[in-house]
Amino acid sequence: MKETIQKLKRGYEAHKIGRFYSAPRSPEADVFVMERISFDQMPIEVQDRVRRRRSDDREYFRIRETSQVKTYVALDGQYRVDALDVFKDKICGITRAYYSSEEQIAVTHMPDTEWGFGGRGLGERRMLILDNLSRSRWHVPLGSSSAPSKSAKALWEKLVKRKLAHRILIGKKTIRYRFFPVQDALSKI
């Protein structure tokens, strides 16, 4: 009960602030500077979250910026990455991506933002950060899973509206989403 009240308080504080991220008008401005950090430089709650999958070949990054919400990235070997948003040393959002060398695709999984933080651009920002990482590490744009949740689908639709992503019809009913290659996205402005 006490933890729920604390989450609601943090959500209310976030709600008073307004938007944490407003997308720039052009996709080339959505480039994030990643600073390599050690495990110990992350907030305790982030350490606890990523410790479960800690491995020798894991890399950690912090997105360099001045926002009140900080984003930390944990890259597990070459195939899994977590982007975690932190507000006042507590996780307020997480998105995970996987790379499949078989399919040559990077897919998102579990975009989740805590109550009070939704609708502020954080999910979109994490997706853009993971797309930047996907392009630099795996040389492919980020895509959705084959069965995105309702909230993930809404997020992808925002990216489609911004002309950063497109829908891909697989079979007769399955819709997946994928960011455009950079050149294609730039030509749509």
pLDDT digits (tens, 9 = 90+) for 1-49: 555 545 545 444 544 555 555 555 555 555 677 889 998 999 988 888 8
Query: Which residue range(s) make up the domain with 97?
Result: 2-144
Output the CA angle 38-44-129, nearest 5 degrees.
60
Provide the pLDDT for residue 147.
82
Which has the minimum average pLDDT: 18-27, 71-80, 119-128?
A: 18-27
Q: Which two tokens stand for residue 80?
A: 């899994």
Segment 130-169, tens digit of pLDDT? 888 888 888 888 998 888 888 888 889 989 998 889 998 8
Task: Give the whole-angstrom CA distance, residue 37 versus residue 21.
Answer: 23
Q: Which two tokens stand for residue 85?
A: 């948003």
**Could you tell me if residue 156 is inside a domain?**
no
Provide the pLDDT for residue 137.
84
**Could you tell me if residue 32 is inside a domain?**
yes
**Could you tell me if residue 167 is inside a domain?**
no
**Could you tell me if residue 101 is inside a domain?**
yes
Picking from 65, 117, 63, 52, the residue whose alpha carbon sits closest to that of residue 91 is 117
Locus of tokens 């997308």: 23
Q: Which residue has the higher pLDDT, 64 or 145?
A: 145
**Could you tell me if residue 84 is inside a domain?**
yes
Q: Are strands 105-113 and 90-100 parallel, antiparallel or unpaired?
A: antiparallel
Task: Give the whole-angstrom CA distance, residue 29 versus residue 51.
Answer: 33
**Residue 46's domain is classified under what CATH number?**
3.40.630
Number of domains in the chain: 1
Q: Which residue has the higher pLDDT, 49 or 189?
A: 49
Beta bridge partners of 90: 87
**Could you tell me if residue 187 is inside a domain?**
no
**Could you tell me if residue 9 is inside a domain?**
yes
The mean pLDDT of 91-113, rounded to a whole number, is 79
Task: Give the whole-angstrom CA distance, residue 155 versus residue 178.
Answer: 12
The Cβ of residue 126 has, within 10 Å, a number of other Cβ atoms equal to: 28
Supply the pTM of this predicted model: 0.78
**Could you tell me if residue 189 is inside a domain?**
no
Task: Give the whole-angstrom CA distance, residue 122 versus residue 128.
Answer: 10
